[in-house]
């Protein structure tokens, strides 16, 4: 396995570039039963479908992926994704954590780091997500990261085979719960130009 290419560092986690040699591990996380439940899906995705989609996703500038890396040992623990609408400068947020990384507070930090990148480097105006209403842990993590509830899609998802509402949440740059990790990542950046 190649070493992670770190892009933005937080307290316990960092965002890095996704790695093709990690694709089997990403596929495993995405097909964990709890991940399938959380996304409201019903079926696992075949390896061939996931592998075929890798190049397509990597070549799509509207589909920005980050590997979430634990800083203490550089172990990958998840992925975050921004599905960008370039016309209106917004994005849908998606996260998946490795099963063994859940319940440790990583979702909130990984979400916050991704919002930091989205607003302070990606110049997005708004980031939004959908979460199934029974997913209380997810809702709590998103709220800690700066998302606010903004709506509801009634009976639009499934949880354990039963129709449930999806909660819409959004985040705006002016509501970002600072401080930003971006200044540290870019180092000293002059605010005025010298002539």
- Catalytic site positions: 142
The answer to whether 71 and 106 are in contact (CB under 8 A) is no
Q: Which alpha helices (H) appear in 6-130, and where do they start and end?
A: 23-30, 33-39, 47-58, 106-120
DSSP state of 82: E
* 3 state DSSP class of 29: helix
Q: Which tokens hold the place of 74?
A: 């550089």
Q: Give per-residue burial for 35-59: e unless 16+ CB within 10 Å, then b.
A: bebbbbeeeeeeeeebeeeeeeeee
Give every CB contact of residue 6 below 8 A, 6+ residues apart in sequence: 14, 15, 16, 69
Q: Which residue has the tokens 């129709």?
A: 163
Count of residues making up the chain: 195
- Helix/strand/coil for 21: helix
């Amino acid at each position: 396995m190649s070493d992670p290419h770190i892009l933005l560092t937080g307290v316990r986690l960092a965002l890095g570039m996704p790695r093709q040699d990690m694709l089997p591990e990403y596929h495993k996380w995405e097909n964990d039963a709890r991940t399938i439940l959380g996304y409201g899906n019903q079926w696992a995705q075949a390896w061939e479908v996931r592998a075929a989609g890798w190049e397509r996703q990597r070549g799509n500038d509207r589909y920005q992926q980050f590997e979430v890396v634990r800083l203490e040992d550089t172990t990958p623990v998840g992925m975050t994704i921004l599905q960008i609408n370039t016309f209106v400068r917004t994005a849908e947020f998606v996260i998946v954590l490795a099963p063994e990384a859940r319940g440790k507070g990583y979702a909130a930090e990984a979400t916050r780091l991704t919002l930091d990148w989205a607003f302070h480097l990606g110049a997005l105006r708004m980031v939004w997500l959908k979460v199934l209403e029974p997913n209380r842990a997810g809702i709590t993590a998103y709220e800690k990261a700066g998302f606010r509830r903004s709506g509801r899609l009634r009976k639009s998802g499934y949880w354990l085979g039963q129709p449930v509402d999806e909660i819409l949440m959004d985040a705006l740059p002016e509501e970002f719960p600072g401080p930003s990790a971006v200044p540290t990542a870019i180092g000293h950046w002059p605010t005025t130009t010298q002539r």
